[in-house]
């Protein structure tokens, strides 16, 4: 049986690095095992789910290169959830309850004050037909709970190892709300069963949900998938990311921070594993290296500064053919391999290439401190054609004529030619600047 995994976000906001890490791990697992990847929208929260967010999630996955083999949305499957609920009712596993949210809150508070776990007391199971008729006559709206068995729930987690829950220590979950809509705990199980999901890879905050959902799988007569629960990301200080998710949304990292998709994937694929984090140019490389057994139970820390450094390393490794279209999209018409090779060692973001394009192809106001020295240098400027050896030959001649060397020789030339103190090697930039423009800059002209 081939493997099948799913990524099932709720379209109630923009996805962030924590969501994408789970999407990426699922996708890598599917591609490594020759299985399928289902992109499913868990959109039964109709008040908060929007098509705009759904489209944004799809756009972010596509930007990362995470294609999907199948697509589904829960809002299309309400009749199927009704069928599953009817089957559970017929089996005596789904029972009606009438408590209001306020009554339930008081019950939980009372149990907690006694030092007891806030488990539902199954009071609804003790109601008589007359009791139910009276409550419904009062206008009470019923919700439906799943009746758990007291048997232990056990599985071997692909990350956590053996896991065991005492069924008697779990609270019967609500599966259907007062308005008749099914909740995630039910819909997710029905979808995973119907789409023959073989492995559910998600965050460790779902471990208790898994214990409950395993019993629902069994009650529906469905095969129970394998499970892997990954530790949740924290920031560099070990704090949860929940308060920072706006700045760590994929849209923000892409549009505001200029992060490359493979930089983000290279980092998230290795965070929390025994592998070193290194820049990879393709998802195929990450697939070849992927091994779920390398995921540690230790809490992985996500640091935006690490991502920025990895983004720079990725650009420094990227060949011209992989960025040619992106450079054109930045408006750098005519940018070629020579330009890219010259500037990529100094890029932190791809957009920075536009700054160096301006240096080599647009007017620059030179920084002139010693006009006499620059005039001497200008007089020694070789005739074209120029190549990568021109800079060395020219500066050797200037050194011989002026006696200058080191910083005293090179920095004034850099400032005049580029208007900056730092940047790419001038042996690479000089042929791009050209003799006419270089001569004017050495003479103190904006050129």
What residue segments make up the domains of the chain, in order of their start?
242-319, 324-361, 371-442
CA 7 to each of CA 69, 178, 380: distance values in angstroms, whole numbers, following the listed order: 11, 28, 64
For the chain, which ranges sit under pLDDT 70? 242-247
Task: Name the percent of the chain in helix, strand, coil, to the closest 5.
Answer: 50, 10, 35
Cα–Cα distance for residue pair 339/331, rounded to 1 Å:
14
The predicted pLDDT at position 243 comes to 47
For residue 229, list its beta bridge partners: 202
Cα–Cα distance for residue pair 253/16, rounded to 1 Å:
9
Q: Verify cis geometry, omega within 30 degrees of 0, for the bond prior to 284.
A: no
The predicted pLDDT at position 46 comes to 85
Comparing CA positions, the residue from 19, 11, 4, 143 lying closest to residue 74 is 11
Residue ranges of the annotated binding site are 243
The CATH classification number of 371-442 equals 1.10.10.350
Q: Are 438 and 430 in contact (CB under 8 A)?
A: yes
Show Cβ contacts of residue 167 under 8 Å, excluding neighbours closer than 6 positions.
148, 149, 150, 151, 152, 153, 211, 215
Angle at the Cα of 47 from the Cα atoms of 44 and 48, rounded to 5 degrees: 85
Residue ranges of the annotated binding site for ATP are 243
The predicted pLDDT at position 212 comes to 98
The predicted pLDDT at position 238 comes to 80
The predicted pLDDT at position 47 comes to 87
Report DSSP state, residue 248. Answer: T
Comparing CA positions, the residue from 271, 317, 263 lying closest to residue 63 is 263
Instruction: Return the CATH architecture of domain 242-319.
Output: Orthogonal Bundle (1.10)
């Amino acid at each position: 049986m081939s493997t099948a995994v799913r990524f099932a976000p709720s379209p109630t906001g923009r996805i962030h690095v924590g969501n994408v890490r789970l999407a990426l791990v699922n996708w890598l697992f599917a591609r490594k095992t020759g299985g399928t990847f289902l992109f499913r929208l868990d959109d039964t929260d109709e008040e908060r789910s929007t098509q705009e967010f759904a489209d944004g999630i799809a756009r972010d996955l596509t930007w990362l290169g995470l294609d999907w083999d199948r697509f589904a949305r829960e809002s299309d499957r309400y009749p199927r959830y009704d069928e599953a609920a009817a089957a559970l009712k017929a089996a005596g596993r789904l029972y009606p309850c009438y408590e209001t949210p306020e009554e339930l809150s008081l019950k939980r508070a009372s149990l907690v004050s006694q030092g007891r776990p806030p488990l539902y007391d199954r009071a609804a199971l003790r109601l008589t037909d007359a009791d139910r008729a009276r409550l419904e006559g009062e206008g009470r709206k019923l919700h439906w709970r799943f009746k758990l068995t007291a048997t232990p729930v056990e599985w071997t987690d692909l990350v956590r190892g053996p896991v065991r829950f005492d069924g008697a220590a779990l609270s019967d979950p609500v599966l259907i709300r007062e308005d008749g809509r099914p909740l995630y705990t039910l819909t997710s199980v029905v979808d995973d069963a119907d789409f023959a999901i073989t492995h559910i890879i998600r965050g460790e905050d779902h471990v208790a949900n898994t214990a409950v959902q395993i019993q629902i799988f069994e009650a529906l007569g469905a095969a129970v998938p394998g499970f892997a629960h990954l530790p949740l990301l924290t920031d560099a200080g070990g704090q949860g990311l929940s308060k920072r998710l706006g700045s760590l949304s994929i849209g923000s990292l892409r549009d505001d921070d200029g992060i490359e998709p493979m930089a983000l994937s290279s980092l998230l694929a290795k965070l929390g594993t025994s592998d070193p984090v290194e820049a990879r140019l393709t998802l195929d490389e990450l697939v070849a290296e992927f091994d779920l057994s390398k995921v540690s139970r230790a809490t992985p820390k996500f640091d935006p500064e690490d991502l920025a450094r990895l983004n720079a390393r990725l650009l420094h490794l990227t060949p011209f053919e992989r960025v040619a279209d992106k450079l054109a999209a930045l408006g750098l018409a005519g940018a070629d391999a020579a330009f890219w090779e010259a500037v990529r060692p100094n890029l932190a973001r791809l957009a920075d290439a536009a700054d160096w394009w301006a240096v080599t192809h647009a007017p620059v106001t030179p920084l002139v401190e010693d006009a006499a020295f620059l005039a001497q240098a200008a007089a020694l400027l070789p005739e074209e054609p120029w190549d990568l050896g021109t800079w060395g030959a020219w500066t050797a001649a200037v050194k011989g004529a002026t006696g200058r060397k080191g910083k005293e020789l090179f920095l004034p030339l850099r400032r005049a030619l580029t208007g900056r103190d730092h940047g790419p090697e001038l042996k690479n930039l000089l042929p791009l600047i050209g003799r006419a423009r270089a001569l004017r800059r050495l003479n103190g002209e904006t050129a």
